[in-house]
A = this chain, B = another copy of it.
Amino acid sequence: MNKAFFGLVAVGLPLSIIGTIFHWRSTILFIIYCVTIIALASYMGRATESLSIVAGPRIGGLLNATFGNAVELIIAIFALKEGLISVVLASLTGSVLGNLLLVAGLSFFLGGLKFKRQSFNIFDARHNSGLLIFAVIVAFVIPEIFSMSLTEEKTMVFSIGIGIILIILYLAALFFKLVTHRGVYQSQKESVESDEEAPEWGKWKAITVLGLATLAVAYVSENLVHTFEEVGEAFGWSELFIGVIIVAIVGNAAEHASAIIMAVKNKMDVAVEIAIGSTLQVAMFVAPLLVLISLLFPVSMPLVFTIPELVTMVSAVLLMVVISNDGESNWFEGGILLAAYFIIGIGFYLL
């Protein structure tokens, strides 16, 4: 797996640079960029993981929380710079949907084909359920509804207020998990297991890889954003579809792979943590951060999704809350999540 990613970077990055310089056709560039970003993301993931182990659980948790969705953040910043507000909101929607339905769905489904019943930490699942309802239903739906009777300026003020509250609550959640209640809700077995890990790379090698990969992702992302319009025309895809489905899959490919691997190894705790943790990170950290960052650009981004985006996110959250509520999974629960993802995918394609 790692070798394949090395090959992809070794080929994809030069091709990205050459193709950009010589203005190859957008559709070809789009594919090259996407593949390169996915391969680079795997390097960022491995570097972050090594650093986390070296730094110990607290700083490690913080690092994972910050760099876990770095790729999406970078792509989104370049899209913001271009004023593509609706693409950014669509890609945030796509991340939420992709993680909750596609990543978790595939994990439950493929894990469930191998094991009849898989279980995960029920306390974490319930803790996450509360945050999902908060982030998606309180923090996303309410500004949309209120914005209907607010001026644009007031909507932006409201968005900034919500953004700050989301980030504070996200940091509080980390503090809760890593400091005040570390291990409180863990079973004995889990706490023993976690000692064994050894980092893949040393501290400085990890930092170097992380820095270089981030730079490369930034370079490719900036160019990727410019291809959206032409690619949309070529394939008959709307901006919404590109944002919700394509960008989200590219931005989250690393999580997809690792969650599924964990599920097939019957480490369902980790798979669920990746899928739902990543969703929460996007909703409670990446999204509000982008609102604040957008203030630096000419066009600022309010936290106002479209109705189809909100309805699909709310459905996905309710589905996940009900399905994860018992701390168990099987192939059929995975099937439900995947079926929901297909329905939503068709919907955004037609829109």
Contact = CB atoms under 8 A, between A and B. Distances in A.
B158 A350 contact: yes
A211 interface: no
Nearest to A176: B332
A347 B146 contact: yes
Interface string A310-351: 011001001101110110001111011001101110110011
Nearest to A184: B116
Contacts of A325: 126, 325
A154 interface: yes
Number of this chain's copies in the assembly equals 3
A326 B180 contact: no
A117 interface: yes
A311 B343 contact: no
B137 A315 contact: yes
Interface residues of A, number: 63
Contacts of A318: 133, 137
B138 A168 contact: no
Contacts of A150: 350-351
A59 interface: no
A10 interface: no
B146 A350 contact: yes
Interface string A119-162: 00001001101110110011101110110111000100110011
Given A318-B133, A351-B150, A311 B141 contact: yes
A172 interface: yes
Given A146-B308, A344-B142, A336 B116 contact: no
A307 interface: yes
B336 A184 contact: no
A153 to B, nearest CB: 10
A108 to B, nearest CB: 11
A155 B312 CA distance: 16
A262 interface: no
A158 B322 contact: no
A173 interface: yes
A28 interface: no
Contacts of A168: 339
Given A117-B184, A150-B350, A332-B181, A319 B158 contact: no
A169 B322 CA distance: 17
Query: Which residue of A129, A149, A350 has the most chain B CB atoms within 10 A of its CB atom?
Result: A350
Contact of A326 (B126, B181, B184): B126
Given A142-B315, A347-B142, A333 B165 contact: no
Lowest 3 A-B CB distances belong to which pairs? A176-B332, A138-B340, A145-B311
Given A137-B319, A176-B331, 18 more contacts: A116-B180, A127-B332, A130-B333, A130-B336, A133-B315, A138-B315, A138-B340, A141-B315, A142-B343, A142-B347, A145-B311, A146-B347, A146-B350, A149-B351, A158-B347, A176-B332, A180-B332, A321-B322
